[in-house]
Amino acid sequence: MTGAAGDESLELTIPVGETIGPVSAILLRPPDARAMLALAHGAGAGMRHRFMQRLAEVLAGRGIATLRYQFPYVERGERRPDPPGVLQATVRAAVARASQEAGGLPLLAGGKSLGGRMTSGAAAQRPLEGVQRIVFFGFPLHPAGQPSITRAEHLDRVSVPLLFLQGTRDRLAELDLVREVVGRLGPLATLHVVEGADHGFEVLKRSGRTDGDVLGELAETAAAWGTQGSAAEG
- Give the tens place of pLDDT for each residue, 160-183: 999 999 999 999 999 999 999 999
> At 28, which amino acid appears?
L
Confidence at residue 234, expressed as pLDDT on a 0 to 100 scale: 30
What DSSP string runs through 188-200? GEEEEEETT--TT
Confidence at residue 18, expressed as pLDDT on a 0 to 100 scale: 84
Say which residues have a Cβ less than 8 Å from residue 190's Cβ, sequence separation at least 6: 161, 162, 163, 164, 182, 225
Domains delineated in the chain:
8-229 (3.40.50.1820)
Quote the pTM value.
0.94
Confidence at residue 2, expressed as pLDDT on a 0 to 100 scale: 44
How many Cα neighbours within 13 Å face the side chain of 225? 24
Confidence at residue 3, expressed as pLDDT on a 0 to 100 scale: 53
Confidence at residue 233, expressed as pLDDT on a 0 to 100 scale: 33
Residue among 234, 176, 158, 168 at smallest CA distance from 202: 168
Pairing of strands 107-112, 35-40: parallel
Q: pLDDT under 50 in the chain at which residues?
A: 1-2, 231-234
Confidence at residue 232, expressed as pLDDT on a 0 to 100 scale: 36
